[in-house]
Each structure stands twice: as C-alpha cells, then as structure tokens.
Amino acid sequence: MFSLSELRQAHDLVRRFLPPTPAFAWPLLAARLGAEVVVKHENHQPTGAFKVRGGLTCCDALSRGAPRVEGIVSATRGNHGQSLAFAARRFGLAVTIVAPHGNSAEKNAAMRAFGAELIEHGADFQAAREEAMRLAGARGLHAVPAFHVDLVRGVATWALELLTERPDLDVLYVPIGQGSGICGAIAARDALGLRTEIVGVQSAGAPAYALSFEAGRAVSTTRADTLADGVATRAPDEEAVAIIARGAARVALVTDDEIAGAIRAYWTDTHNLAEGAGAAPLAAALKERARLAGRKVGLVLSGGNIDFDLFQRWVAKAPETAAAA
C-alpha cells in the first residue's frame, strides 16, 4: 500500500501532534499467555484510541487540496469521529459527525468536546453512514469514509513504531472494525520487509470480515450483535477485504464473554482499561494460547474508551466462569 518513505513521512506529520505510544512487555500477561508478549498502548492517545493518527493525515491532505475543503462529515461509533474532530480543529476544518442512536454517551460527549457537531441517526453504523452521505450532498461537505488511503497511511504509523522497535515479533493480533488498523499493520510490515504473521480479530456476533476473508470477497451481514462497538461491523469495505485477504494469516472470532475476560485481564495484569475492540486481540491470543508457546506475540490495545455503565453491566458483573477464562 505504501512505501517505507511514505510511511515515515506520515509518521513525521503525526509526531508534530502526538508522541509515540509505549510498547510494554508485561510479565503477568506473559504468564497468562505462556509466551513473550508486547502490548502497543494506543489507549494512551489523547483521544483514547489509535484512529487519531489517521485523522491527522486525512485532515492534512484535505487542507492542502484544491479547492480547499472547508467542512467534513463522517459516520462513527466513536473513535473515528473523535479522531476527525481532534484533527479537524488543528487544520481549521469544520466537522459534522453522525452516530447511531444508543451510541456511547461518553464517546458522544468527547466528540462534542473536541469540536464536532454531533448528529444521532439510525439504529446502527450502517444507517449512520448513509445519513452522513446524505448530509454531504445536502450541506456541500466532504464525506470522509471510515476506510480511506489517507486514513490508513496515518493509522499505519502505530504499527511502524511497534515493528521498528520489535521486528522480531512472530505474530501480531489486530482488531477489525472497518479495517484501517489491520491494513495499516499489513502495510507497515510489508514496507519494513518483515515476516510477522498478522491475525485479524472480530466479534463472533459481527463476523463480516471473517466471512469475507473466507470467501475472498466482501460479505455483509444483517446484524452486528456485540457489545464491542469498535468491531460492530456488518458491511465490510471491499478494498480493505482485498488487503486483508492478501496480507493476513487468518481472522479469529471471539465472543463477548471472552472479550470481557480480556478486559479484566488487562486491568489485573497491567492496570490499563481497554474497550471491547481494544481487548479483542488479547481475547483471541488467549483463545489460541496453545499455538503461541515459545513465540513472540504482539497485541495492540487499540483503545480504552468504554463507558462506565457498560463496563459495570458487561465486565464487572460478568459470571465468575467467564472471569476465569
């Protein structure tokens, strides 16, 4: 997707606004997994998630285009919208974000605090995305999709940092929402000429990308039944599917109970709070523990934006049997 030079240029831009995030080896997680493990802490970003990197490269490109874009619109479940709001303010762009009804109240509040006009519409992400496209035409705004080359170029810098620091990783687990995170990881690995196995992770209740990976083409689903909103996707991006099909080893599926167990594991072993999508890679690694013995494992904790009410309802009050998983 990108040359190493292009990724380094994107990293230089991101570094103007954000320091690199840490990559820590946690001994309790290593004991839990039975393997050496390194966690890339994108939950330490000012928006609480990795997507802010892509927002910066996207808004930079739009601000330098001709004719100049004055306003943008996009749909989100939260982290993508926060990234665009954070970045748009820095490049003098107005931003309108459409989120589905029932979206995270705390993510909605954060998007407004970063300067977005927030509109609630529809029952899920797909409905919000369709409304964002309608608003683009009605208001003369530039529509920013959840997956685009300018977004992926910035998002890929998290993996560039990790794989430059740890080129010896055997396997890297990455959650899949609309695909920018895993496609960025594939791009960084390939640009660096590494052989790291990249495993995508989805919710078993929202397996559109897993189905697409198996079919070799985009396969949509009618529902996305998961509390992990960052991976609640039912309409995959065709370009992302093609990249994942070429560059990923497989797509693993995890249940909401397994994700809740991984959120608890992150808290007890590292005292970091993960959102559902952020914990999904650890959930998958724990599920595949038997195949990881003696290997060097990378996990991206892609975000920590979980509502307190959801944490209480889903994670803190989960059955003891799930807690022991």
CATH code for the structural domain at 4-50+149-316: 3.40.50.1100
Q: Looking at the chain, how many residues does it have?
A: 325
Residue 318: per-residue pLDDT: 56
Question: What pLDDT digit, counting tens, does each position of 92-101 carry?
Answer: 999 999 999 9
How far is CA 240 from each of CA 56, 213, 216, 246, 248, rounded to the nearest angstrom? Answer: 20, 10, 11, 10, 11
The two counts, helices (H) then strands (E), for the chain are 14, 10
Residue with tokens 């396997």: 171
CATH topology for the 51-143 domain = Rossmann fold (3.40.50)
Going by DSSP bridges, is the β-strand pair 94-99/296-301 parallel, antiparallel, or unpaired? unpaired
User: Which residues of the chain fall short of a pLDDT of 50?
Assistant: 321-325
Fold match flag (4-50+149-316 vs 51-143): yes
Predicted pLDDT of residue 124: 84
pLDDT in the model for residue 322:
44
* Cβ atoms of residues 221 and 211 within 8 Å: yes
| CB 236, CB 218: distance < 8 Å | yes
Domain extents in the chain: 4-50+149-316, 51-143
pLDDT value at residue 125: 82
> pLDDT value at position 325?
42
Cα 178 from Cα 215, distance rounded (Å): 17
Q: What pLDDT does 164 receive?
A: 98
Residue 58 backbone dihedrals phi, psi, to 5 degrees = -65, -50
